[in-house]
Amino acid sequence: MKGILKIYHPEETLKYNIKSTYCKAVYSNKQHFLEVEIITDDSLDHVDDDSLHYNFPQLSMNVFDYPIESAEIAGQKFEINDSEDETYTNVDLFDDEDAYLYNSELSFDTNAEGELQLFWQGNIDDFYTGSDQPIPFKLKCNFKEDQINIEEE
């Protein structure tokens, strides 16, 4: 498991296991930009049958084209607040519903094994019940490379 996402809905805390992660500082036109993609696992083995979670088994959260000072992101903290003119975050619910992220705070550091990890907190639209109040979330994940085992026949 690459990490966990918790969405603190008033009725229940929704927990998503992270399936895949991607993070890179991209250099383009003399400027560095942050790109992050977090995709959750669609498994519902850990979820009760009557959970709100069943309606949205998987989601993807992204940061794209966010200008940063340098390519070194370990030890950095970024506060991302999208506006009507500039959007740097996106969430995909893998259905027809729309949701937006607010007040994103991303903190990068390295763990004991020297792997980059991310703590991301903020607010997300309440796409479960459609309430006008965004609900808080917290995400913790690492960017450890997957080990692909190829068996010889």
Digitized pLDDT (tens) for each residue of the chain, 153 residues in all: 588 899 998 888 888 889 889 898 898 888 999 999 999 887 766 565 555 555 667 889 999 999 999 889 999 999 999 988 999 999 998 887 788 999 999 999 998 888 899 999 999 998 888 888 999 999 999 888 766 677 776
Task: Tell me the sheet residues that pair with 39.
Answer: 20, 60
Contact (Cβ atoms closer than 8 angstroms) between residue 106 and residue 66: no
pLDDT of the residue at 146: 67
Domain range 3-142, CATH class: mainly beta
- Using CA atoms, how far apart are residues 127 and 9, in angstroms rounded to an integer? 10
Any idea where the domains of the chain sit in the sequence?
3-142
pLDDT of the residue at 141: 92
- Residues counted in the chain: 153
- Using CA atoms, how far apart are residues 10 and 126, in angstroms rounded to an integer? 10
Closest CA to 120 of 76, 84, 82, 54: 76
Closest CA to 125 of 136, 113, 139: 136
pLDDT of the residue at 10: 86
- Using CA atoms, how far apart are residues 93 and 56, in angstroms rounded to an integer? 7
Global confidence as pTM: 0.85
